[in-house]
Amino acid sequence: GPLKPEITITYIAVSAIFFNSGLSLKTEELTSALMHVKLHLFVQIFTLVFFPTAIWLFLQLLSITPINEWLLKGLQTVGCMPPPVSSAVILTKAVGGNEAAAIFNSAFGSFLGIVITPLLLLLFLGSSSSVPFTSIFSQLFMTVVVPLIIGQIVRRYIKDWLERKKPPFGAISSCVLLMIIYTTFCDTFANPNIDLDKFSLIIIVFIIFSVQMSFMFLTFLFSTRNNSSFTPADTVAIIFCSTHKSLTLGIPMLKIVFAGYEHLSLISVPLLIYHPAQILLGSLLVPTIKSWMVSRQKAQKLTRQPKAPVKV
């Protein structure tokens, strides 16, 4: 159509989100985020190891139900996806969490996903298609890393102006994300051969929300243990980065790995539902998580303050 999503979405939209992030992020925060190895390991292992394995075990139980088998396979593809390139960053920023860590894990997880996601898809679902790693890597580098670096360079020259005007970076990213979701839905449901029964679709939507809530609660529990050493701001980034999945990388990757599959549209449906669902659920939880983070930070400050000596 006139929107030309093969150009505007694949290249311009994703690039705009990361240029926006590079422009808004303080360089010193991103540098400090690089050293937070424990947080990065937690996010990547949860996203690319625990998540797909847990979904696979869950699907063994669901396989005996009358739910459409291709939608169930689609659920497995959701589990195999890397962290998102935008939504987790936007929500982490909205709460006031560790945005630098969220951006680092989005970018790093995307690069890991280039290799690991296709391998996971082949492991759990199988496909004889060859995956052009070089072309995916180069596209990801040009749309994620380069815009982020350019944004950081531009920020250095207009830093004072940005501090004065405070542009609405969050609103801009949200608008671009809505455009990505709209065009992806149009692309999938324009297929005349798609065959969805209402029962399976409703159950899949319920499962997706249940999985998200359960995994967000799990990451919250793990990251707030007494020996975790994560700050409240770190926990916010962990909750969103560990449980969110990439649509902008996921759909093109599915099209590459499952090229020629007649049921590709059905396999794509759970990911198309998961993405807006994670944004909706995350947005609803922003006030609650923000309230928890602020109260936790205040409590930590009080415990660190030295006690006044008692006068006898």
**CATH code at position 150:** 1.20.1530.20
Q: How many CB atoms sit inside 10 A of residue 244's CB?
A: 31
Q: Could you tell me if residue 306 is inside a domain? A: no
What local confidence, expressed as pLDDT, does residue 133 receive?
Answer: 60
The 10 Å Cβ neighbour count of residue 50 is: 17
For 97: left if phi > 0, alpha if psi spans -120 to 50, otherwise beta; the answer is beta
In a domain, 222, yes or no: yes
Look-up: residue for tokens 């991103």?
30
What DSSP state is assigned to residue 134?
H
The answer as to whether 305 is a domain residue is: no
Q: Is 238 contained in some domain?
A: yes
Q: CA 307 to CA 310: how far, in whole Å?
A: 9
The pLDDT value recorded for residue 44 is 92
**In the prediction, which pLDDT does 197 show?**
74
Tokens matching residue 42: 């937690």
DSSP state of 86: S
Q: How much is the pLDDT for 145?
A: 74
pLDDT, position 177: 63
Whether the model clears a pTM of 0.85, i.e. scores above it, the answer is: no
Rounded CA gap, 229 and 112, in Å?
A: 25
Residue 106 · residue 241 · CB < 8 Å:
yes
* CA 81 to chain centroid: 9
Domain-located, residue 308: no
- In the chain, the amino acid numbered 155 is R
Structure tokens at 147: 């815009």
CA angle 16, 39, 50 (to 5 degrees): 90
Q: Quick one: pLDDT at residue 136?
A: 61
Residue 184 pLDDT: 60
> Is 72 within a domain?
yes
What is residue 296's predicted lDDT score, i.e. its pLDDT? 87
Q: Which domain holds residue 123?
A: 5-294
311 in a domain, yes or no? no
Domain count, the chain: 1
**Separation CA 32–CA 302 (nearest Å):** 25
Which residues of the chain fall short of a pLDDT of 70?
1-11, 21, 25-32, 85, 126-137, 139-140, 169-170, 173-174, 177, 180-181, 183-196, 248, 252, 256, 259-262, 304-312
Tokens of 299: 């409590």
